[in-house]
Chains A and B, each alone.
Chain A
Amino acid sequence: SQQGEEDPQALSIQEGENATMNCSYKTSINNLQWYRQNSGRGLVHLILIRSNEREKHSGRLRVTLDTSKKSSSLLITASRAADTASYFCATDGGSNYKLTFGKGTLLTVNP
């Protein structure tokens, strides 16, 4: 069964706008990760946030984590056409080395 579930399933925005994707999960975690997948390619790690962190930044990415609500959000600011991809959250269920992925959010950034 899927541990993480992303919302929305699909998101279409204009270049320059911000994109927000959400992830909900069911069990306790050590950390939560976000990955990007361009069409026809493998997943690429974006950012990891530990269970004792509430917010983390990396370039144009901002991730928040609310362990009380078992949810996370990924914000991409000033989006570009090159950000068009599927975005997945992944949780470890406490194992550290084994991840469970959600079904992903398909982000389309229109030029």
Chain B
Amino acid sequence: DAGITQSPRHKVTETGTPVTLRCHQTENHRYMYWYRQDPGHGLRLIHYSYGVKDTDKGEVSDGYSVSRSKTEDFLLTLESATSSQTSVYFCAIGAASGAYEQYFGPGTRLTVT
């Protein structure tokens, strides 16, 4: 988890409220990713970023938006949280070239009641 932090680590919120999760990296990596992990589904990509202000959708992007105004920060927003968005959210980073492994943050456990 070195070099990647996520905040908050745990959050309980009510249906219909907006929620923003933050991912912060100190590695200066170009690529940043948001995944959700659910039992029976494994890890699924929500959105990713390939540079400041450059983002694209992943496999399960409906109901989520992202922003990246600085290299080090990647925000995931649930505009109006639903119970189906209860999950564990992981941020990951990746270098632009060479090795293509990703490095993961510690995760945020989100519960929508």
CA distance A102 to B35 in the complex (A): 13
Inter-subunit contact B101/A45 (CB<8 Å):
yes
A92-110 residues at the B interface, CB under 8 angstroms: 92, 96-104
Inter-subunit contact B102/A88 (CB<8 Å):
no
User: Which stretch (B11-19, B42-50, B70-78) binds chain A?
Assistant: B42-50
Inter-subunit contact B100/A97 (CB<8 Å):
yes
A40 nearest in chain B by CB position: B107
Inter-subunit contact B42/A101 (CB<8 Å):
yes
The 0/1 profile, CB within 8 Å of A marked 1, for residues 1-21 of chain B is 100100000000000000000
Inter-subunit contact A2/B100 (CB<8 Å):
no
* Residues from chain A with Cβ under 8 Å of B92 in the complex: 42-43
Inter-subunit contact A45/B102 (CB<8 Å):
yes
Chain B residues in the interface with A (C-beta under 8 A): 1, 4, 31, 35, 40-45, 48, 50, 58-59, 90, 92, 94, 96, 99-107
